[in-house]
Amino acid sequence: MPDMSASASLAITHLVPLAKELDEDKVTPGVLGFIVFAVMALAVWALMKSMNRHMGRVDFPEAEDPESRSEGDTEAVASGGKKKNG
């Protein structure tokens, strides 16, 4: 099996001079990075707008709280909607 540490150290010795040639102040994401970021921001904005529109259309019928009903209302619901008189 070949010695991996020797090949790794050889690769590092060849890459170190290349890394020193780069000026740290000149490395930027550039125009392509800005375009990708802007497209992603527009996509998130469009998704949020669509979600807001769809959530506005949702209508959940709320169930009444059983504790807030009075006795007469409970009997009327149990008898099929016919309220007893007397």
Torsion angle defined by CA atoms of residues 67, 73, 79 and 85, in that order, rounded to the nearest 10 degrees: 150
Mean per-residue pLDDT of the chain: 76
Model confidence pLDDT, tens digit, residues 10-25: 666 766 666 666 667 7
Task: Provide the whole-model pTM.
Answer: 0.42
Question: 79: number of CA atoms within 13 Å, CB side?
Answer: 11
CA 3 to each of CA 7, 11, 25, 72, 80: distance values in angstroms, whole numbers, following the listed order: 7, 13, 37, 88, 85
Model confidence pLDDT, tens digit, residues 18-62: 666 666 777 778 899 999 999 999 999 999 999 999 999 988 888
With a cut of 70, say whether residue 71 has pLDDT above it.
no
Q: What is the pLDDT of residue 43?
A: 98
**Paired tokens of 26:** 């000149």
